[in-house]
Structure 1
Amino acid sequence: MKTPTRIPDMIGNMGHGMEYVDYRIQLWRKKYGDASLSRSDFLTDAEKERIRYGEYYDWLREFSSPAVVTNHSLIGSGGTEKTSYTIGLGYTLDNGMVGKESFERFTANIGLEHRISEKVKMSLSSYLSQNDTDQGSNDALLNAYLLPPIVSPYDTDGSYLFNCQPTSSKINPFVQAENNIRKREEFYANVTASLEVKPVEGLSLKSQFAAQHNSDQSGEWVGTMTQQNSGVNPPSASRSEGRNLNFVWDNIVTFDRQFGKDHKLNVIGLFSLQKETHKGSSMSGNGLPYESWWHAIQTADEILNVSSYYWEASMVSAMMRMNYTLKDRYMITLTGRYDGTSRLATGNQWGFMPSVAVGWQLKNERFLESAEWINALKLRLSWGKSGNNNIDHDITWTKLNLTRYVFGGTGVNGFEPAASRGNKELRWEMTSEWNVGVDFAFLNNRISGTVDLYDRRTDDLIFARSVGSINGYSSILQNIGKTQNRGIEVGLNTVNVAHKNFTWRTGITFSLNRNKILDLYGDKQDDLANRWFIGHPISVQYNLKQLGIWQEEEAEEASKYSASPGHIKVLDKDHNYSIDEQDFVILGTPSPDWTAGMNNTFVYKNFDLSVYMYAEIGGLYSDDFTYMFSAWDNEHWNKLDLPYWTPENRNNKYPAVGAQSYNTQVLGLVSGTFLKIQNITLGYTLPERIARKLRMQSARAYVSVQNPFTFTAYRGSDPEVIGENVYTQLSLYPMTFTFGLNLKF
């Protein structure tokens, strides 16, 4: 069972509709004067009646609802002396919390392993999945945010109104959800087969072939009674589909031997081939004659946006790795990898990535043998290079876009250069990393963990560099500059209490990363047009700095900026009484300063309780939701219930209602700091003797809750969705209660 949690606090929700009425009066007086309160569009007769009788509608809570999620899995295994198998079936149904949203998935998997002889083994595994998603309507939830509590979705006869607020353009979310259908179907199939031969002791030859296929089909139906068609225009629809196929063939040679008591050698050689193909098409149509969803677009009055695509990419890899251990104390690993990708142009397709790592098991040294409180202690040092192959397949090509124009009275097709220019000189984006780490366990393994420090430097980053459109394109892909990432990662596990009937264990993780640009074009100069600054992270918030809100005693100074008390006050960096981009400063970066997690597990006899907490501290993000619902002052829509400035409420963050303040973009910059209790699980395991009497190996029942508590200053539904697009990704975040039963026979 899941239910919306942290529903944003809009003005007048939860029955406090008079707060919205007060806001509406204040807004109209500020924008249009006292006389505007007698205008017919200030309040409709229906709205006045609802106010008179105190009938207010909480749009977000009424449009959303709790939903049931079911997840079933059945796993079986067995075999003979030479053959073993596993088989599994799964089913998930997730009914969405908003409108018609839902997700349904069927899965099946099978694994088979057969020993042909003592030296030959073969295996086969497969996984199938069918996913069906009803994505609901984007506009429906957005309208539920915007419509005020003095508006009702119902007509006098109890039926849904289409335009429930005649003074604005937003239609009834319930009607929108019924008439705007968006569905997606996906099918996945993964098959892996391998053959392994061990001709002599210590030598293994393995060949493995894997194929992954997935296809998807998406469709959208926009009926007449929708926001898009305004209750007037005929229906429209769109459809897209894609097919993807990926083959990977790995051939691995492994030599693993021990020589005498002191020497261990493990050598692995790999040769790999990979190829992927992608193809698909899409089309849309306006003016459909009947309700056919997207299955009869050919009947539309106008067929639009017909397109198709096909592309393929491949990669060849060769790798050799050697691990040598001396006396179970000293370890060294040498690796060389050579990759070639079709995504880059001839002459730059190959990249060599070497690495070396050494380790020292201090616990096995004689001088620590007597230290019984030390169970494990290992030091590690490594250096290596890695390449980035996560790039588009056509980045080296300058593409042409199809354009249509009239020539000689006839429509013809033409082509024009795309906005981005390709670059056949692009090279591999390479990252070199130093890492030093320690693994430890103390006090009979009551305290254990790892600590890693790293320094990563990336050369030849592939960036789209903005250029003047006078060149015929607005950006060009280039290998640009150097960046550095430094950080620390810590994992700590403790057994705090260990008694016969009670144990308490804690697991802690901590991560901190700092990144900055070291150079761009070899001259250590910033690139202001692209917002790249030497010594700062790649992505920064470069904007005006809010100093507060102009107060009444600052009226004279505010007037120099064409502002007045209640308007946003920003930094005038050059002190010229003109606010423009020359006053922009670096405010922060959209990534946390550090993250941490903690899991506590308590076991008392057959009961177990676990509590997991997660925190992200720092980071400054640009959030469309906060901007839209705090900066916009539409005379008919709702907004976030915030402490907006008044002469009595002299806050320094949010401007006065109806102030029509400049520089409102600063309101969309929000902190990403939060602490979450992400999961609490309570379980009970049936005693083994009782389970056996019931002909079971084990049985466990549990109940859990996800996202029960979130501590943050963020005003949206959840801090982990900061930055979502309000027009295509707007969501409500769930708190989920799970009741489960695990049975093993």
Structure 2
Amino acid sequence: MKRLIFSLLTLLGCAAAVAQTTVSGVVTGGAEPLIGVSVQVPGTGSGTITDLDGRYEITVPAGRDTLSFSYIGFTPRLVAIQGRSTIDVNLSEASEVLQQVVVIGYGIQQKDDLTGAVSVVESDQLTDIPTQSLGQSLQGKVSGLQIIPGSGAPGADAIFRIRGIGTLNDANPLFVVDGMILNDISFLNPQDVQSVSVLKDASATAIYGARGANGVIIISTKQGGGEGTINISAYTGTQEVVRTIDVLNATEYATLINEADVNEGRQPRFPNPEQYGEGTDWQDVIFQQAPIYNAQLSFMGGGDRSTFNLSANYYRQEGIIRGSAYDRFTTRLNNSRQVTDWLNVAGNLSLGYNTSDNISTGNILLTALRADPITVPRDENGNFGDASAIGNTGNPLASIFYSNNESQAYRAVGNAYADVSFLENFTFRTNFGLDFNYDRNRDFVPAFRVSASQQNEESDISVFNAYRRNWLWENTLSYANDFGVHHLDGVVGLTYQDNFGEFISGSRERLVGSDPSFYYLNSGDVTTASNSGGVSGGDWGLVSYLGRLNYVYDGRYLVTVSGRVDGSSRFGANNQYGFFPSVGLGWNVSQEEFWNADGLISRLKLRASWGQTGNDRIGDYQYVPRVANGLGAVFGRDPILLPGASLTSLANPDLAWEETTQTDIGVEVGFFNNQLLFEADLYRKVTSGILFQAPIPNYIGANPAVRNVAEVLNRGLDISGTWRAGSDAFRYSLGANASFVHNEVLQLDGNTENFFGGGLGVGGQLGTNSRVGFAAGSFYGYELDGVFQSEEELNQFAQLGNQRVGDLRFRDQNGDGVITAAEDRVVLGSAIPDMILGVNGSVAYSGLELTFDLTGQFGNEVINAKQMARFGAYNYEARFLDRFTEPGSSLTDPRITIAGQNFETLSSRYVEDGSYVRLRNVTLGYRFASDLTDRLRMQSLRVYVSGTNLVTWQEYTGYNPEIYNGSVFDNGIDRGTIYPIARTLTAGLDITF
């Protein structure tokens, strides 16, 4: 009997097994696969999750015909099986904002629980634009974040500004990559990035204390997990200059130079200008179409207790200016291991190596604009043309040919940490990170002669080597718990960071040969040797104590309190420590019982915050006096030079932190079941005690000490909105963000009314002025009042110097009949835009997807300084054809001269509108269906074509209105030295196995 019963049970079990079915498919959210989606058979214990490509496979017991799909931030779905073995599902993002997890300082929070102003950009929004720079990938995607392409040179990084410029010093934000605190992210490969959190207000940034005043950008790189996958992605393309500047051809040039000669009392030098025809456009000579390549290989996987992600990337970009190029190789390894139930260890390591072929961009680019178009690049014998004979410039092609300047950079950035969980709700983390840089540069110039002004009599070589190491050790204790409707979490910590770097350089002349095998110092004449060395990259340390507490009541009422104490070696004993607190409040109105979630407004959240942060980027040891060694003097009766030293900068033992106080009021609104999301923040940010080397009387005999001398206001409005709609077959989205900012100097040192800066290269003339009531670094000069049309007007209006008919006329602001620098110069504009705009969208039908990005800025001006400072018969830009030749011929453009007052004085004539709108990127891609990829043994296959910087609508007559020169006193001045940006067309593919 027992044997019979056992046999029957076995048969029933086999029948049940036969009745089971296996279902597989892909779960997506929009056009992207979703990782970790819970797939369940309702009413049973059967379940699984999707892998890194959104794929799942599940066994369905007999009698069950339904699958449930759920994922944080997406609307759950029940799907009938109906005999199918393959079921692909697309989940709606209608409620994504409610439970989206956001990485913040020393922790994570759900988006709905945040009291601070934080914007998040995910990886799929970063990889459309073919660039090695994460910054340029972010341009136009975050409200309140301005991205400036500081240069179009190969390998150049972008400049970040969050909510304006609140300091006269370094205004860059702080970067945190996988927990490692850094000052730059130039090493980072955008394809390794999982998400970017931009922290904008004090509630979000106060946890970073003395370094949070300029905002914080937290970057999380891709970790492992799920079934093992291999991803291959690559693209290739071509680049060209976006626009060229219209300059005179040879006939026009000869005509205007003749006219300038006559105007200045000389005989015209070109008897027959027409004989020269079009001549040489030197921009065509130096610019080229340049290739770009990128290839990425990554392995990712893991199980319940360990994960890994290994990637390798090669990127090459040749420059659109001949002779420039950039190669970069990076590799990254991220892994984690759950050693026990209470111990988790993990590490992140990035290794990078890059080389750059450099040229003297400023010299070559400006020379190409100014070189006369009559001279040929090379003559019939192959010799370089002498551009100094007519226009007093060099030959830019020769400058490229004789340039042998190569840079190499090695960088390792990584961290390792251990998490210890205890007493259910506590986690202790110890994290150690290291950032190590090693840079080399070798510059060889052979002996050559193109002309008397463009030659190198003896070959020479210069070598530069530098290293920098920066280590960070952080220890934090976290707590999180729920008590009914109460949620409480917090973190306290103690951190240490130390930075040091050093450089050494040397040079020699008269090398024994010009082959690269001789590019070493010992190949040169020992009698010409020189060397130097010193600190590179800073010598500073920081110790910090931090804490934050978050409280949420019933998902409705939110409170965040945080603070940090920082002690820095950059400040003396009198003010070595600073305390930076913040408080944030939030109210999820739509969580209240009275709220009708089915109405027009499906979600409403109100936020408010206040806090103080700091900025310590002033250089090292500014609180002690500076002394210069290597000086000498002759004392006594015997003429013997004795070694000595001299005080060069005064000390300031009371040096204190810059302190930024910021208030933020925000609102988050969802319409139509959160298909339309809107967010706005109104803020006021005042930075007081700004550190600056304010001028002192010359009779002191030393440079001034750095002091707390200024106060600057930034107030503004950040808004963003996103609309998403569609079905599985057809989806579309449209997003836009705008940032409005008002910058104003509120206070300066009592002894100084103006801080001048921005050299224009003309007799020491400075182009910017920071003064109370105006934006920091405002343009400052004379207001154009027309052109002197006659001798009568010369007698009627005030003059600046010895002016003649046809010269520019400047407005006499105080009406005293005299034009003076002290009384008649005014603010002419600012490089800080009033508004920054970003628009992005996508349309997807089946496997086909089109995405686009627009960026723009409005309300800023540019000084077109490359048209000024003329010291020879340089070529002119085409605008000079509209010159004054006789009374009434021009009311805005002066007579033609070689140099003189019309070119040497900053006026509104040289200040142009810097507003623009740019079609930043358009990408058309196609993701092949699973029936094809399955046959090819692939998980996914996507091909695409992409265009970047396709069209720019701008009024500015230069290459690019986004001008960054490294300082608030220098921004917006176009001296013709910044490498232009490129228009790029690429084609690529992504394959996952």
What TM-score, normalized by structure 2, do the two folds share? 0.69
Q: Which residue of 2 aligns with 1:488?
A: 717
- Write the letter of the residue equivalent to 2:688: D
Measure how far apart 1:597 and its partner are.
1.0
Q: Is residue 309 from structure 1 mapped to residue 535 from structure 2 by the alignment? A: yes
Q: Do the aligned partners of residues 422 and 69 (structure 1) sit closer, same or farther apart at CA in structure 2, a change above 3 Å counting?
A: farther
Q: Which residue of 2 aligns with 1:591?
A: 832
Q: Do the aligned partners of residues 370 and 134 (structure 1) sit closer, same or farther apart at CA in structure 2, a change above 3 Å counting?
A: closer
Output aligned runs, 1:535-614, within 5 Å: 535-552=773-790, 555-557=793-795, 561=799, 562-581=802-821, 582-614=823-855
SS at match of 1:11: coil
Measure how far apart 1:695 and its partner are.
1.2
CA distance in structure 1 between the aligned counterparts of 2:240 and 2:786, rounded to whole angstroms = 37
Output aligned runs, 1:425-504, within 5 Å: 425-495=654-724, 498-499=726-727, 501-504=729-732
- Write the letter of the residue equivalent to 1:204: T
226-235 vs 188-197, greater mean Cα deviation: 226-235
SS at match of 2:374: coil
Q: Deviations over 1:648-706 (max 9, x none)?
A: 87444332211833463224433321111111111111122222221111111111111
1:690 to 923, 932, 950: 932
- Write the letter of the residue equivalent to 2:780: Y
Q: Which residue of 1 aligns with 2:334?
A: 111
Q: Do the aligned partners of residues 383 and 330 (structure 1) sit closer, same or farther apart at CA in structure 2, a change above 3 Å counting?
A: same
Q: Is residue 18 from structure 1 mapped to residue 251 from structure 2 by the alignment? A: yes
Q: Deviations over 1:394-422 (max 9, x none)?
A: 2212212234457466665432232x433
Q: Do the aligned partners of residues 519 and 149 (structure 1) sit closer, same or farther apart at CA in structure 2, a change above 3 Å counting?
A: closer
Decide whether the 8 Å contact of 2:738 with 2:837 is kept in 1: yes
Measure how far apart 1:306 and its partner are.
2.5
Q: Deviations over 1:413-458 (max 9, x none)?
A: 432232x433111111111111110111110222102100111122
Measure how far apart 1:229 and its partner are.
7.5
Decide whether the 8 Å contact of 1:543 with 1:585 is kept in 2: yes
Q: Which residue of 2 aligns with 1:744?
A: 992
Q: Deviations over 1:157-190 (max 9, x none)?
A: 3x13253553454333222212122221111001
Q: Report how many aligned residue pairs link the two structures.
A: 723
Output aligned runs, 1:279-290, within 5 Å: 279-290=502-513
Measure how far apart 1:739 and its partner are.
1.1
CA distance in structure 1 between the aligned counterparts of 2:774 and 2:542, rounded to whole angstroms = 34
Measure how far apart 1:611 and its partner are.
1.9
528-537 vs 249-258, greater mean Cα deviation: 528-537
SS at match of 2:732: strand
CA distance in structure 2 between the aligned counterparts of 1:237 and 1:409, rounded to whole angstroms = 36
CA distance in structure 2 between the aligned counterparts of 1:51 and 1:150, rounded to whole angstroms = 11
SS at match of 2:448: coil
Measure how far apart 1:307 and its partner are.
3.2
Q: Which residue of 1 aligns with 2:370?
A: 146
Q: Do the aligned partners of residues 290 and 209 (structure 1) sit closer, same or farther apart at CA in structure 2, a change above 3 Å counting?
A: same
Q: Is residue 655 from structure 1 mapped to residue 890 from structure 2 by the alignment? A: no
Q: Do the aligned partners of residues 398 and 297 (structure 1) sit closer, same or farther apart at CA in structure 2, a change above 3 Å counting?
A: farther
CA distance in structure 2 between the aligned counterparts of 1:3 and 1:730, rounded to whole angstroms = 16
CA distance in structure 1 between the aligned counterparts of 2:597 and 2:527, rounded to whole angstroms = 87
Output aligned runs, 1:232-271, within 5 Å: 233-260=457-484, 262-271=485-494
CA distance in structure 2 between the aligned counterparts of 1:604 and 1:226, rounded to whole angstroms = 62
Output aligned runs, 1:53-202, within 5 Å: 54=277, 56-138=279-361, 139-157=363-381, 159-161=382-384, 163-202=386-425
SS at match of 1:621: strand
Q: Which residue of 2 aligns with 1:619?
A: 860
Q: Percent identity?
A: 23
CA distance in structure 1 between the aligned counterparts of 2:388 and 2:274, rounded to whole angstroms = 15
Q: Do the aligned partners of residues 224 and 402 (structure 1) sit closer, same or farther apart at CA in structure 2, a change above 3 Å counting?
A: farther
SS at match of 1:573: coil
CA distance in structure 1 between the aligned counterparts of 2:867 and 2:356, rounded to whole angstroms = 28
Q: Do the aligned partners of residues 650 and 368 (structure 1) sit closer, same or farther apart at CA in structure 2, a change above 3 Å counting?
A: farther
Q: Which residue of 1 aligns with 2:11?
A: none
CA distance in structure 2 between the aligned counterparts of 1:527 and 1:96, rounded to whole angstroms = 40
Measure how far apart 1:362 and its partner are.
0.3
Q: Do the aligned partners of residues 54 and 214 (structure 1) sit closer, same or farther apart at CA in structure 2, a change above 3 Å counting?
A: same
- Write the letter of the residue equivalent to 2:365: L
SS at match of 2:408: strand
Measure how far apart 1:636 and its partner are.
5.1
SS at match of 1:718: coil
Alignment gaps of 5+ in structure 1: none
CA distance in structure 1 between the aligned counterparts of 2:739 and 2:683, rounded to whole angstroms = 11
Measure how far apart 1:714 and its partner are.
1.4
Moved over 6 A (4+): 226-229, 724-728
Measure how far apart 1:639 and its partner are.
4.0
Q: Do the aligned partners of residues 200 and 693 (structure 1) sit closer, same or farther apart at CA in structure 2, a change above 3 Å counting?
A: farther
- Write the letter of the residue equivalent to 1:306: S
- Write the letter of the residue equivalent to 1:664: T
Measure how far apart 1:300 and its partner are.
4.9
SS at match of 1:366: coil
1:731 to 979, 982, 985: 979
CA distance in structure 2 between the aligned counterparts of 1:224 and 1:724, rounded to whole angstroms = 37
Measure how far apart 1:134 and its partner are.
0.8
Q: Deviations over 1:328-366 (max 9, x none)?
A: 100101112111111100121100111111100000111
CA distance in structure 1 between the aligned counterparts of 2:977 and 2:439, rounded to whole angstroms = 20
Measure how far apart 1:202 and its partner are.
1.7
Q: Deviations over 1:296-340 (max 9, x none)?
A: 375354234523336521111111111011111001011121111
CA distance in structure 1 between the aligned counterparts of 2:314 and 2:784, rounded to whole angstroms = 51
Q: Which residue of 1 aligns with 2:945?
A: 703
- Write the letter of the residue equivalent to 1:517: V
Q: Deviations over 1:451-497 (max 9, x none)?
A: 001111222111111112110124331112433221110111113x5
CA distance in structure 1 between the aligned counterparts of 2:456 and 2:560, rounded to whole angstroms = 70
Q: Is residue 416 from structure 1 mapped to residue 646 from structure 2 by the alignment? A: yes
CA distance in structure 2 between the aligned counterparts of 1:399 and 1:623, rounded to whole angstroms = 37
Decide whether the 8 Å contact of 1:185 with 1:218 is kept in 2: yes
What TM-score, normalized by structure 1, do the two folds share? 0.91
Decide whether the 8 Å contact of 1:195 with 1:206 is kept in 2: yes
Decide whether the 8 Å contact of 1:240 with 1:283 is kept in 2: yes
- Write the letter of the residue equivalent to 1:211: L
Q: Do the aligned partners of residues 370 and 70 (structure 1) sit closer, same or farther apart at CA in structure 2, a change above 3 Å counting?
A: closer
Q: Is residue 4 from structure 1 mapped to residue 241 from structure 2 by the alignment? A: yes
2:626 to 382, 399, 404: 399
Measure how far apart 1:222 and its partner are.
2.5
SS at match of 1:665: coil
2:885 to 619, 632, 646: 646
1:30 to 263, 286, 297: 263
Q: Deviations over 1:5-36 (max 9, x none)?
A: 21111111xxxx32223222222222234x33
CA distance in structure 1 between the aligned counterparts of 2:658 and 2:572, rounded to whole angstroms = 14
Measure how far apart 1:371 and its partner are.
4.1
Decide whether the 8 Å contact of 2:794 with 2:805 is kept in 1: no
1:324 to 541, 545, 551: 551
Decide whether the 8 Å contact of 1:4 with 1:734 is kept in 2: yes
SS at match of 1:347: helix
Measure how far apart 1:376 and its partner are.
1.9
